[in-house]
Amino acid sequence: MASLPNIRRHARRTSPSALVAPERDRPDVQRLEAHGLTWLNIEEPTDAETAWLAEHQDFHPLDLEDVLSRRRQRSKIDEYDDYVFLVLHFPRFDKRTGRLQATELNVFIGPGLLITIPKEPLKPISALWSRCEQRDDARFDFMSKGSGFLLYEIVDQMFDYCFPILDKIGFKLDTLEDAIFEGQSNELVRDISNVKQEIINYRKIIKPQRPTLRMLERAVQRYAPDDLEIYFDDIVDKNERIWDSLENYKEVADALEATNESVITHRLNAMLALLTIISAVILPLTLITGFYGMNIDGLPFAHNGVASFIMLLVVMVVLAGGVLWYFRRRKWL
């Protein structure tokens, strides 16, 4: 592997809202060195950074093509004689679209070298970088045990970052459950659809890399201490916990959708029942008024003036009361 030149340290960019990273004439590479380990971090790589990697490192051209590709790569581990190339995905809430999206993290790991290349700025990596950059004890804790241990810390903190996103989904489901029976069923249809979409997106991120994480410890064990296996097992456990929670949330979301549809149907049926009862009560009254509205001679009480009106009104009230009594007796009311 080629030696690393001295690289000017650049301030971390804070423009995650850009749709496409601007092209740069000079490569923007962050560098940290401590305890025989070099950590390079390249956010939102462009042609300049990819060309720099091709010039200074003996990486396979297909790996560099994956780094620069605008299309999301599948989660994978490519092992070579002197380095390992990883592609991992993590959830990230996109404020521009208001949806949960997958962000890609590419990693090159070799003896004494770790290169992290997030396609978008990731808060856990930025926070860990700042700690190591500013504090000697942090550099000792994270960079003194080799590139494999530093990779574990990065991936571990990325998965820790996944749990608050998972908790937000759980909170949304609890809120929706409370709102269903508060007369907001019609308004909740879109909210339930949105939270189901978030769960689906999250599952699409987590599921494909489950086998990748199981192979991670074996792939990087040559760059890590002998006792690191248990640490990577913890990462696999976190991934499985997230997956199990997503499975439960999926079932809850489906149940909430079915319950909300049942509530809407029940209210619609109650409304239709009320309209049916009103129609059944009015129908005989309309029949009577229709007969007397045809001006046909010979109808009872047709020529008795006010007395006829009062008597017909009494008959209609008694008839309506009889219909309501019948419905009550049959327990339709």
User: How many domains does one find in the chain?
Assistant: 2
Helix runs in the chain, H state only: 47-56, 61-68, 123-134, 136-143, 147-180, 185-206, 210-220, 229-292, 306-329
- The pLDDT assigned to 287 comes to 78
* Among candidate residues 211, 237, 264, the one where a domain is terminated: 264
Q: 295 by DSSP, 3-state: which?
A: coil
Chain segment 290-318, per-residue pLDDT in tens: 766 666 666 666 666 677 677 778 878 88
- Spatial distance between the Cα atoms of 135 and 203, rounded to a whole number of angstroms: 37
- Structure tokens given for 38: 């070099």
Q: 41 by DSSP, 3-state: which?
A: strand
The model's confidence at residue 208, banded by pLDDT at 50, 70 and 90, is: confident
On whether both 250 and 305 belong to a single domain, the answer is no
Q: What CATH number is attached to the domain comprising 256?
A: 3.30.460.20
- The pLDDT assigned to 19 comes to 39
- The pLDDT assigned to 85 comes to 93
Range in 28-42, 219-233, 263-277 with the lowest mean pLDDT: 219-233
- Spatial distance between the Cα atoms of 266 and 255, rounded to a whole number of angstroms: 16
What residues are paired with 85 via a beta bridge?
A: 78, 108
On whether both 69 and 208 belong to a single domain, the answer is yes
**How is the beta sheet containing 84-94 ordered, strand by strand?**
30-34, 37-41, 113-118, 99-110, 84-94, 76-79
Chain segment 128-142, per-residue pLDDT in tens: 999 999 999 999 989
Residues 6 or more apart whose CB falls under 8 angstroms from that of 41 comprise 29, 30, 31, 32, 115, 116, 117, 118, 125, 129
- Structure tokens given for 3: 């030696």
In a domain, 207, yes or no: yes
On whether both 206 and 321 belong to a single domain, the answer is no
On whether both 293 and 145 belong to a single domain, the answer is no
Map tokens 């239709």 to a residue: 272
In a domain, 226, yes or no: yes
On whether both 165 and 286 belong to a single domain, the answer is no
- Check if the beta carbon of residue 253 is closer than 8 Å to that of residue 172: no
Q: 85 by DSSP, 3-state: which?
A: strand
- Provide mean pLDDT across the span 82-111: 88
Domain that holds residue 310: 278-329
On whether both 77 and 168 belong to a single domain, the answer is yes
The torsion angle over the Cα atoms of residues 284, 285, 289 and 292, rounded to 10 degrees, is 60
On whether both 257 and 298 belong to a single domain, the answer is no
- The pLDDT assigned to 16 comes to 40
* Among candidate residues 232, 264, 296, the one where a domain is terminated: 264
- The pLDDT assigned to 221 comes to 76
On whether both 173 and 294 belong to a single domain, the answer is no
Chain segment 107-125, per-residue pLDDT in tens: 999 989 999 999 988 899 9
Task: Judge whether residue 196 has pLDDT over 50.
Answer: yes
- The pLDDT assigned to 128 comes to 93
Element (H, E) at 37: strand 37-41
The model's confidence at residue 224, banded by pLDDT at 50, 70 and 90, is: confident
Which range among 108-117, 222-231, 253-262 has the greatest average pLDDT?
Answer: 108-117
Would the CA dihedral through 273, 278, 279, 284 be positive or negative? positive
- The pLDDT assigned to 295 comes to 66
On whether both 154 and 192 belong to a single domain, the answer is yes
In a domain, 11, yes or no: no
Of 306 and 179, the structure prediction assigns the larger pLDDT to 179
- Provide mean pLDDT across the span 191-219: 88
In a domain, 66, yes or no: yes
Task: Judge whether residue 206 has pLDDT over 80.
Answer: yes
The conformational region for residue 86 under phi > 0 = left, psi -120 to 50 = alpha, else beta, is beta
On whether both 190 and 141 belong to a single domain, the answer is yes
- Spatial distance between the Cα atoms of 149 and 41, rounded to a whole number of angstroms: 16
**End-to-end CA separation in angstroms for the chain:** 84
In a domain, 61, yes or no: yes
In a domain, 166, yes or no: yes
Task: Judge whether residue 9 has pLDDT over 70.
Answer: no
Query: Rounded to whole angstroms, what are the CA distances from 318 to 87, 281, 285?
Result: 80, 11, 10
Chain segment 22-70, per-residue pLDDT in tens: 555 677 889 999 888 999 999 988 888 888 888 888 889 899 898 888 8
In a domain, 24, yes or no: no
* Among candidate residues 241, 264, 287, the one where a domain is terminated: 264
Task: Judge whether residue 10 has pLDDT over 50.
Answer: no
Task: Judge whether residue 251 has pLDDT over 90.
Answer: yes
- The pLDDT assigned to 40 comes to 93
On whether both 244 and 289 belong to a single domain, the answer is no
- Spatial distance between the Cα atoms of 241 and 142, rounded to a whole number of angstroms: 25
Q: Mean pLDDT across the chain, nearest whole number?
A: 82
In a domain, 7, yes or no: no
Q: How many residues would you count in the chain?
A: 333
The pairing of beta strand 84-94 with beta strand 76-79: antiparallel
On whether both 297 and 208 belong to a single domain, the answer is no
Task: Judge whether residue 253 has pLDDT over 60.
Answer: yes
